[in-house]
Structure 1
Amino acid sequence: MDMTPIIDIVFNLLLFFLLSSSYVQHSALDVKLPKAATSEGVEGEVVIVELNRQDQIFLQGKPVEGLEDLEKRLGAIYSNAGAEEKKPLLIRADEFVYHGRVVSVLDIARKVGVQSLNVATVPSEEEPSSSDPNAESKKKDAS
Structure 2
Amino acid sequence: MKRKKHTSGDDDAQIDMTPMLDIVFIMLIFFIVTTTFSNEKGLAANRPPPDQQPTNQPSKALSIRIDATGQIQMGGRVVDIRRVVANTQTYLAENNTDTAAIQADEDTEHGIVVDVMDQVKQAGIVNVSVLVKK
Please give the TM-score of this superposition, normalised by the length of structure 1.
0.48
Q: Which has the higher contact order (CA 8 A, sep 6+)?
A: 1
RMSD: 2.7
Match of 1:120 among 116, 128, 131: 131
Asked whether the 8 Å contact 2:68–2:108 carries over to 1, the reply is: yes
Separation of aligned partners in 2, 1:92 and 1:58: 10
Q: Establish whether residue 104 from structure 1 lines up as the match of residue 122 from structure 2.
A: no
The DSSP-based 3-state class of the residue aligned with 2:88 is: helix
Matched pairs, number: 80
Structure 2 unaligned spans of 5+: 1-46, 48-53
Separation of aligned partners in 2, 1:60 and 1:86: 15
Asked whether the 8 Å contact 2:102–2:131 carries over to 1, the reply is: yes
When residues 45 and 92 of structure 1 are mapped into structure 2, their CA distance, relative to the original with a 3 A threshold, is: same
The higher radius of gyration belongs to 2
Moved over 4 A (4+): none
Structure 1 unaligned spans of 5+: 1-37, 123-143
Q: Which amino acid aligns with 1:99?
A: H
Question: Which residue is equivalent to 1:90?
Answer: 101
Q: What fraction of aligned residue pairs are identical, expressed as a percent?
A: 20
Please give the TM-score of this superposition, normalised by the length of structure 2.
0.51
